[in-house]
Chain A
Amino acid sequence: MKTNDVILQFTAKIVFFIIFFYAVHIFFAGHYTPGGGFVGGLVTSCAIVLLIIAFDLKKVQSILPINYIYLVATGLIVALGTATFSMIAGKPFFTHSFDYFNLPILGKTSLHTAALFDFGVYLVVVGVTMTIIQTIGEDE
């Protein structure tokens, strides 16, 4: 039965941005407070699943034309690249480094290479979750 889903779809459009920006906040806050790449990735994929529930699977794929298997591969490459970068610099595998920088708007911030590794974890988690849900949901 085809029904009129105006309320659900309009709410999903607004709530998607709240959930997505909260996921970004969780991801960047992971170094000093609870959170990190895994939870941020799960919350992001929850936002995409909300769009899939409110709209169609095909419509969401045309809005976000991402091949999630390539996303998993990109995340693994980013994580492995940050780990091997320290070998090139002559230190043991997985040696992280950090420093304080004065960014123009944000002021004094500490940038750490663990955030890059976390970004790889984030991409892998989003890719794996969305691959599982899409392959179950396609049903062809």
Chain B
Amino acid sequence: MTILANILVVFFISVGLLFIVVAALGLIRLPDLYTRAHAASKSSTLGVMCILLGVFFHFWLKEDHFNPSILLGVLFLFITGPVGAHIMTRSSYLAGVKAWPGTVRDDLKEEIETMKKEQGIK
């Protein structure tokens, strides 16, 4: 039982660590803001959630202490992480941050232009 618990904890924490390292590599390697936000929001959310689950299983199975606020933290991160990335990328698009020059398609541009025309800006 202890060995199984150890395997579970080590699995979750190392998977989370792997995803966080991948997120950091993506922040360095990717060319523009939108691809970086894609890397940072997805993989770091999943990584932190895996690490929290590992900590939760460690305290539950080995220290015999059920801590529901860690589960609440997992739920909170799962809700707010992607929404935060969405708000940041959207506001930087509206502020005029250009995408990587190799981008072939920009569906949001027409929407923003019709929205500006309706409200009479520029």
Give the B-binding residues of A (Cβ under 8 A): 1-3, 7-8, 11, 14-15, 18, 22, 25
Which residues of chain A are within 8 angstroms of B76 by Cβ–Cβ distance? 15, 18
**B27: min CB distance to chain A, Å:** 23
Q: How long is the Cα–Cα vector from A11 to B76 in the complex, in angstroms?
A: 10
User: Are the C-beta atoms of B116 and A7 separated by less than 8 Å?
Assistant: no
The 10 closest A-B pairs by CB, nearest first: A11-B83, A8-B87, A18-B76, A1-B121, A2-B119, A7-B86, A15-B79, A15-B80, A7-B83, A11-B79
Which residues of chain B are within 8 angstroms of A2 by Cβ–Cβ distance? 119
**A95: min CB distance to chain B, Å:** 33
**Is the contact region of chain A dominated by helix, strand, or loop, or is it mixed?**
helix
26 contacts between A and B (CB under 8 A): A1-B94, A1-B116, A1-B119, A1-B121, A2-B119, A3-B94, A3-B115, A7-B83, A7-B86, A7-B87, A8-B83, A8-B87, A11-B79, A11-B80, A11-B83, A14-B79, A15-B76, A15-B79, A15-B80, A18-B72, A18-B75, A18-B76, A18-B79, A22-B69, A22-B72, A25-B69
Which residues of chain B are within 8 angstroms of A22 by Cβ–Cβ distance? 69, 72
Give the A-binding residues of B (Cβ under 8 A): 69, 72, 75-76, 79-80, 83, 86-87, 94, 115-116, 119, 121
Q: How long is the Cα–Cα vector from A3 to B87 in the complex, in angstroms?
A: 12
Which residues of chain A are within 8 angstroms of B87 by Cβ–Cβ distance? 7-8
Write the chain A residue with the least CB distance to B86: A7
**B73: min CB distance to chain A, Å:** 9
Which residues of chain B are within 8 angstroms of A3 by Cβ–Cβ distance? 94, 115
Write the chain A residue with the least CB distance to B111: A4
Known pairs A18-B72, A18-B79; list 13 more (Cβ under 8 Å).
Answer: A1-B119, A1-B121, A7-B83, A7-B86, A7-B87, A8-B87, A11-B80, A11-B83, A14-B79, A15-B76, A22-B69, A22-B72, A25-B69
**B89: min CB distance to chain A, Å:** 12
Which residues of chain B are within 8 angstroms of A11 by Cβ–Cβ distance? 79-80, 83
Which residues of chain B are within 8 angstroms of A1 by Cβ–Cβ distance? 94, 116, 119, 121
